[in-house]
Amino acid sequence: MTALVYVLAVIVGLAAGAVGVGGMLGIGMTWRLPALLPLGGVSLVLDPLAGVFLALVGFAAVPASLYALGDTRRTPRGRVAYLLFVGAMAVVPLAANALTFLLAWELMSLASYVLVMHDRESREAIRAGWVYAVMTHAGVVCLVVGMLLLGTWTGSFEVGAWRAAALAPGARNLVWTLLALGFAVKAGVIPLHVWLPLAHPAAPSHVSALMSGVMIKLGVYGLIRISLDWLGDGPAWWGTAILLAGAVSAVVGVLSAIVDRDLKRVLAFSSIENMGIILIGLGAGVLYHAAGLPALAVLGLTAALYHAVNHAAFKTLLFLGAGAVVHATGTRDMDALGGLIKRMPWTTACFLTGAVAIAALPPLNGFVSEWLTFQALLQNLLIERPGVNLVFALGIAALALTGGLAVACFVRVFGISFLAVPRSDASARAHETEVPPRLAMTMLAVACLALGLGATAVAPALARVGSELIGVVGSLALGDALTLDVSGNFASLSVPVVAVALTLAGLGIVGGLAITGRGRVRRYETWSCGRMLQTPRMEYTATAFANPFKRVFHFFYRPVEQIDIAAHPASRLFVQRIEYANPTRSLFDDWLYRPLLDSVHRSVRVVRVLQSGSANLYLAYILLALLVMLVFA
């Protein structure tokens, strides 16, 4: 039965992906069932933007479900929730009225909560589920209030009526703020991100892959809809808020990822970083749209959509690779891994592909979308407003810093986890995963390569989606079959040429070393400072690799050094054991959430005084409430 559920999920994914691609190509569809629900019933509409995100859901669900089919530890728990999760995510971008959207959104949230709580005996999963439930329903409250206000002021809960309505600026800004907060929670935007690094590691790996690869993108989908579609043309401050939130999320996300030891939590923080990159592109598009530069608005939106597609591919791949590592070793601690390249070569090759892609190195897909984002940002001088130019400059600086730190982050993740010698018995006994997970990871690795090399086909397709949304007549010209040209002669990129050049350079280096080193090769152990054999204690650890970054960004991490020295029982002059830790402290926990929770606890203690247990007092409360209503009626 469990296998049947995942097979059905694969079928649903393929169908959703095919329909989504049709929507991107301009095939519109409408489904209405007015009798099924009040307030307009179930209403589903397929347009190009919905097609992009529907295709993301479908094509990410296929490898995730294949991975689950090959997981020998799969249990019946959560199988219905998984199918509902995939189905609800597929409905969200199609929803064409408020009730359909909110029901699909809530079903997606509840199903993912059940999946996060799959291990009900784990304190980590219980805490992650609790935080996720609180944050996601805080976001739902914002969405419900915003859509109720929008429906009341426009006289309809249909999306089409929202587009045609002319709201007052104050009302429109209030609705946008509420809806943006609700969508930002789901997208993991700083500082509303606290649920994400808890929930994604706690969930099963195929669920983590979908949550990080697809679910949080639906928050981006909502931000695109309210900023460029449902509420009409918005003011420049909408784009400023999105771009600055993206810049902060990108930098904070990568800084958090580069020091964490938990393999899956590193990937979760990296998702926050990449959501920030997507929002930088989206914010640029909204700003250009407000400034009356539709071609550049389409370019910014295209960069955002391209990076959303790319992130779905390489982050799904990395989470499935991390799941294979956890399944083989039983640990997520990178300091307990190492040497997996010899024991899990297939997983290693796929994970390396994902790491190169997420580090935005050519010729893979992450490089292309970040390059497009840079090109969108660099043309900001066409807006002759110094304040807006400063916002763009901050976005450029954040994107550049994020790109460099992301490379260092994934050099650390791959090198510590897969290279050198095993640091634990579990790592030494690791074995390659089953065939279905390997097939799933291979599909995603090929997708990362194809999305990079096929940029001249993917970018124009996404540009057509942006053109339709923004209202630009005709598609945006982006070069020929081999070259991406941006804004005429402003910049150009040929990913196939870059790939060929890198391949030839690599072959030249290998060939040169083979020719010059022939006959003089001697294989021996790496020099180990005079010791006879190398041991895991001589290797760099994830903690040691992160220490320089903790020093440079001390103001952000605020690390606390903890040293525990145990002396030998015979003499305190001889050390038996030394344990060193250098944990970081979260600014957002210490300065935002902990004070907020303390305030809530104090308020609750005050309110509890009213709950005395006395029936007479409760009757007095009722009488007092009736008197108040009579007075003010």
How far apart, in whole angstroms, are the C-alpha atoms of residue 580 and residue 274?
32
38, burial (CB in 10 Å: exposed 0-12, middle 13-18, buried 19+) = exposed
pLDDT band at 34 (very low <50, low <70, confident <90, very high): confident
> Residue 369 pLDDT > 90, yes or no?
yes
pTM above 0.75, yes or no: yes
The tokens for 41 are: 């019933």
The 10s digit of each residue's pLDDT in 523-573 is 766 666 666 666 777 778 888 888 889 888 888 888 887 788 888 777 777
| CA dihedral for 125, 130, 134, 137, sign (positive or negative) | positive
Quick one: how many helices (H) and strands (E) in the chain? 26, 6
Domains of the chain, residue spans: 233-486+543-552, 587-632
State the average pLDDT over residues 594-601.
86
Q: In whole angstroms, how far apart are CA 384 and each of 103, 233, 387, 389, 431? A: 44, 20, 9, 8, 59
DSSP assignment letter at 481: S
46 pairs with which residues across the strands? 29
pLDDT band at 69 (very low <50, low <70, confident <90, very high): confident
* pLDDT given for residue 210 in this prediction: 95
Q: Are 353 and 449 in contact (CB under 8 A)?
A: yes
What is the average pLDDT value for the chain, to the nearest integer?
A: 89
Amino acid at 415: G
Percent pLDDT > 70 in the chain is: 95
- Rank 162-166, 205-209, 610-614 by mean pLDDT and report only the highest: 205-209
How far apart, in whole angstroms, are the C-alpha atoms of residue 505 and residue 406?
24
Q: Are 306 and 285 in contact (CB under 8 A)?
A: no
* pLDDT given for residue 71 in this prediction: 72
Find, among 150, 215, 210, 214, the residue nearest to 179 by Cα.
Answer: 150
How does 262-274 read in b/e, with b if 16+ C-beta sit within 10 Å?
A: bbbbbbbbbbbbb
Pairing of strands 42-46, 484-486: unpaired
Q: Out of 102-106, 191-195, 521-525, 536-540, which region has the weakest mean confidence (pLDDT)?
A: 521-525
Find, among 624, 302, 264, 292, the residue nearest to 469 by Cα.
Answer: 302
* pLDDT given for residue 570 in this prediction: 75
How far apart, in whole angstroms, are the C-alpha atoms of residue 11 and residue 9?
5
The 10s digit of each residue's pLDDT in 428-447 is 899 899 999 999 999 999 99
Q: Are 459 and 310 in contact (CB under 8 A)?
A: no
Q: Are 145 and 177 in contact (CB under 8 A)?
A: no
* pLDDT given for residue 529 in this prediction: 67
What is the Cα 217 distance to its own chain's centre?
Answer: 7
How far apart, in whole angstroms, are the C-alpha atoms of residue 448 and residue 418?
20
Phi/psi-derived region of residue 559, left when phi > 0, alpha when psi is between -120 and 50, beta in every other case: beta
